Chains A and B, each alone.
Chain A
Amino acid sequence: MSEPMREIEVTVNGKLHRASVPVRMTLSDCLRHEFGLTGTHVGCEHGVCGACTVLFDGHSARSCLMLAVQANGHEIETIEGLESAKGELSHLQAALRDHHGLQCGFCTPGMLTTLTELLRDNPSPTDSDVRIAISGNLCRCTGYEGIVAAALDAAQRIKDAGSRA
């Protein structure tokens, strides 16, 4: 049986990507291997670890639990799109660095996208809000303390700068 394929058009980080993909291909594989955006990581492929989280039409979603064809006509943001056009790290990215919120960095794309959404939904999160927001993102290195501290600090930095997550 030949592999059923579909043409798709997806806007990722503001840039339109076109590809012909097997209909069974997951969105995570499409982003990584068709579009070359390997910053999104695949950690479990059954929707538990959260490393593959992207922003799908502005909302966090596990890209291993979506088909690439479902992204046709939609907009996606990934870790590669979080910095400014001038290449400056976002407040959240910088805070993660400053609070040692990453070690191996494998969970980082999911943490960044999930927390970017949190800070847009809730500009003044509590410690508990942050923990609940990332409870679907597993990290084996940090023990989460640096990540939580970074998110809280980023919220403050965003307020101080009067900017957006």
Chain B
Amino acid sequence: MNRIVGTSVERVEDRALLRGQACFVDDISFPGLLHAAFVRSAEAHALIRTVDISAALDVPGVRAIWRMEDIAHHLSDPLLKVALPSPAFRQELHRPTLSDQEVVHVGEAIAVVIADSRYIAEDAAALVMVDYEPLPAVSDCKAALEADAPRAHSSQPHNLVAEFTMGYGDHETVFASAPHVFHEELWQHRGVAHSMECRGVVARHDRLEDIITLWSSTQTPHACKRVICDVLGLDEDKLRVVTPDVGGGFGPKLVFYPEEVILALAARELRAPVKWIEDRREHFVSTTQERDQLWDMQIAVDNDGKILGLRGLLVHDHGAYTARGVNVPYGSAAAITLPYIVPCFFLDIKLAVTNKVPVTPIRGAGQPQAVFAMERLMDRVARELKLTTDEVRRRNLVPPELIPYTTPLKTRGGMQVVLDSGDYPATQAAALEKADWAGFRARQAAARKEGRYLGIGLANYVEGTGRGPFEPVSVRIGENGRIHVASGAAAMGQSTKTMLAQVVAEQLGCDMSNITVVTGDTAAIDYGMGGFNSRQAVMAGASAHAAAKKVRAKALTVAAHMLDVGEQALEVEGRHVRLKGNDERKVGLGEIARALAGLPGYYVPGGLDPGLEATERVIINDMTYANGTAVVEVEVDPETGLVQLTHVTFAHDCGNVLNPQIVEGQIIGGMAHGIGNALYEWMGFDENAQPVTTTLAEYLLVSATEMPMKVDIVHLTSPTPLNELGIKGVGESGVIPMTAAVAAAVDDALAPFNVKITRVPITPPDLVSLIEKAAAP
């Protein structure tokens, strides 16, 4: 029986955060700290003729201004080659550290100014004169693939950066003979991650030891270190990357950015610590974005609404450079079928380059778009075959008796996709029951009599979580009995330190206050993948569990030796190992650690390896699949187009729950993000690829007043067999089904007007226009 794991213990992060004593990257300060500001492209596509820094250099307090020509000799390669490998690529479009020839999106860095204050750095940056020769730009990903489209990069023959197909079965035959085939063209618009803390970097060079320490708000400190070492030609012991407290990640902070290498270089070359804090306007144009996708899809079903096949075209907006890979559309394609039995599947996937901010994962990473496409198709089938939307899904969900269900799909690493656990029909049923789905039609009819338009919709998702292969964790007990945990996992607000402390405490005395957790520090542990893909509780949790058990076993062995009893008679309680239930006979964890530190000329007790410590890198190659159902109830004002969320019910299964409060927090937070994608968040670019929403007054994040009037969460628990703790990831779940469920609910509310939602975000002007069109003769 667990005492810590599975309970809502107080988070170890909270005390410092609540007292204003946490340390985010902009809270780091040193005497003599210099400040950087970047000169960024004002053009979406242009050749750079000259970059004149002479006026800017005259500004008092400016220490350096660098263009590519000023730093090229320090770089092993001017390009940042960080893309995940894929045979799908037809073009290599790596980002330059600083652009000196051709700029391909507004916001890419051209020069850096380093000065005594950020104020002065911005003064000088405004005086750097960039002479552009504008080129035609391409903004829309569909238009980008047309033969006569302007080329996003003038060096390339076309805008198709990558293409691949995914599927199985003979779709030609299936679609030719299917009783019903329905077609939908669906579109999801681009959004911005908008962690409340933007990105930031502080770098300091220690001249005595010739070591650069770089603090970055990154989700992947070890990868960051590797890239900087490569680009600057550093030995790995000459750079330490530390992730301080991070004010939210949501995906884009997993990517490596030019500012990180430039700051490391500046600290060394200028012999002074240097800070760069991304401001919100920079976040709009220099931090990666996601979600523009067009889905041109067909679904084949039999007369009972059972799926026979699914096929179509996915056009994915890749943005201007390859900052990560083909992983987002791969994730979309690999997710679309998962909740359902789909006998035949074919998807043609085309990645279009545009002159917009590069695209890499944001919370959900392609999966919300796939769920939007699939669930809109399911609603279409229901409508056409006069089935209810829940029934058509019930007929197609993967039934529990087939779990573990080996799909014909493979992950990007070539591993088979096996739906390892879960009961999808039961999850849907639980959501419907909590949402009072059965009673909705009566509610709707009553409201309609008052002239109010209510609607309800649902969406299912299955999400691959826990991306492997491993995340290291070391557990070490010091000679004062304190437990030190270090992990390659990176915390960005999702309670990672609490999670690790809970897992370790369960094995080692259940005293959370006796545990120090270090995450995101390359000096604390040699390897690390970091935070993304709902992976850290699964992967680092598994390693923490294994390492803690190993340390526990060692402690018991030594304590048995010291107390002269059998190991079975002992337990770890607080900071001691004691005779079970007997606080008189005990030995401190610190004493055991001291014994295992060895004495010159004596045996290590118990014949054990020295050190009361263990480092584990539990390998789990297969992803574990979490699932859930969202039911959304809305009221729509047809006169204004206002959509109000009256009730959201979210039933989900992430296996065993380590901390119920944290899991609910993740889901509701993701839900808010999904509501934003469904109704509010629109990163606009005009036809020349100039961004048109570059403030938080123009780009609308959901605030407390836009949240649903009522939220219910239902937990189902199907432990995965893939890790000992039986847990699945949950960090992205909340966002994934929301656009689909909101769209379905709006359709339902506006059924009298025959409104069909095919694109998100759904804005009031769009809705009013759809209603007016339906009313027109």
Contacts and interface: CB of A to CB of B under 8 A. Distances in A.
Interface of A: 2-3, 22, 24-25, 32-33, 36-46, 48-49, 51, 78-80, 82-83, 89, 93, 96-97, 100, 102-109, 112, 130-132, 134-148
Given A83-B19, A106-B248, A146-B665, 18 more contacts: A2-B60, A22-B117, A37-B20, A44-B280, A46-B280, A89-B19, A97-B10, A102-B14, A104-B494, A112-B18, A135-B705, A140-B194, A140-B248, A141-B494, A141-B669, A143-B665, A143-B707, A145-B668
Interface in B204-258: 245-248, 250
A93 B26 contact: no
5 nearest A-B pairs in the assembled complex, by CB-CB distance: A39-B20, A104-B493, A106-B247, A105-B17, A143-B668
Contacts of B670: 143
B279 to A, nearest CB: 6
B697 interface: yes
Contacts of B193: 140
B246 to A, nearest CB: 7
B11 A97 contact: yes
Nearest to B280: A44
Given A100-B665, A131-B705, A137-B703, A48 B695 contact: yes
A132 B707 CA distance: 11
B19 A107 contact: no
Contacts of B493: 103-106, 141
A39 B24 CA distance: 9
A107 B196 contact: yes
A140 to B, nearest CB: 5
Given A38-B26, A106-B247, A144-B672, A138 B196 contact: yes
A148 B704 contact: yes
B495 interface: yes
Contact of A106 (B195, B695, B705): B195
Q: How large is the interface on B (under 10, 10 to 19, 20 to 34, 35 or more residues)?
A: 35 or more
A22 B701 CA distance: 33
Given A44-B696, A138-B701, A33 B707 contact: no
B9 to A, nearest CB: 11
Q: Which of A105, A109, A132 has the most CB of B within 10 A?
A: A105
Contact of A40 (B20, B29, B195, B280): B20
Contacts of A146: 665, 668
A130 B248 CA distance: 23
Nearest to B277: A42
Contacts of A37: 20
B673 interface: yes
Contacts of A109: 20
A104 B15 CA distance: 12
A108 B671 contact: no
A82 B198 CA distance: 26
A132 B704 CA distance: 7
19 contacts: A38-B20, A38-B23, A45-B279, A49-B696, A78-B20, A80-B21, A96-B14, A105-B247, A109-B20, A137-B703, A140-B196, A141-B248, A141-B493, A141-B494, A143-B671, A143-B734, A144-B672, A145-B711, A146-B665
Given A131-B705, A144-B704, A138 B26 contact: no
B644 to A, nearest CB: 13
Interface string B110-121: 000000010110
B13 interface: yes
B669 A93 contact: no
Q: Which of A41, A49, A134, A143 has the most CB of B within 10 A?
A: A143
B700 to A, nearest CB: 10
Contacts of A147: 704
B707 A145 contact: yes
Contacts of B23: 38
B530 to A, nearest CB: 16
Contact of A104 (B120, B247, B696, B711): B247
Given A105-B22, A135-B704, A143 B672 contact: yes
Interface string B651-665: 000000000011011
A72 B25 CA distance: 28
A41 B200 CA distance: 13
A120 B535 CA distance: 42
A142 B17 contact: no
A106 B21 CA distance: 12
B32 to A, nearest CB: 14
Contacts of B8: 100
B661 A100 contact: yes
B185 interface: no
Given A134-B703, A136-B703, A144-B704, A104 B19 contact: no
Nearest to B118: A29
Nearest to A22: B119
Nearest to B13: A105
Nearest to A93: B18
Interface string B164-180: 00000000000000000
B457 to A, nearest CB: 19
A36 B495 CA distance: 26
Contact of A143 (B18, B119, B279, B669): B669
B27 interface: yes
Q: Which of B20, B661, B707 has the most CB of A within 10 A?
A: B20
Given A2-B60, A136-B703, A140-B673, A41 B247 contact: yes
Q: Which of B29, B279, B696 has the most CB of A within 10 A?
A: B696
Interface string B470-500: 0000000000000000000000111100000
Q: Which of B19, B665, B671, B704 has the most CB of A within 10 A?
A: B704
Contacts of B707: 131, 143-145
Contacts of A100: 8, 11, 661-662, 664-665
Contacts of B27: 32, 38
B184 interface: no
A22 B671 CA distance: 43
Nearest to A132: B705
A76 B235 CA distance: 48
Contacts of A33: 29
B18 A80 contact: no
A39 B248 contact: no
B18 A103 contact: no
Nearest to A44: B280
Q: Which of A37, A79, A145 has the most CB of B within 10 A?
A: A145
Contacts of A45: 279-280
B511 interface: no
Nearest to A43: B196
A25 B696 contact: no
A40 B17 CA distance: 11
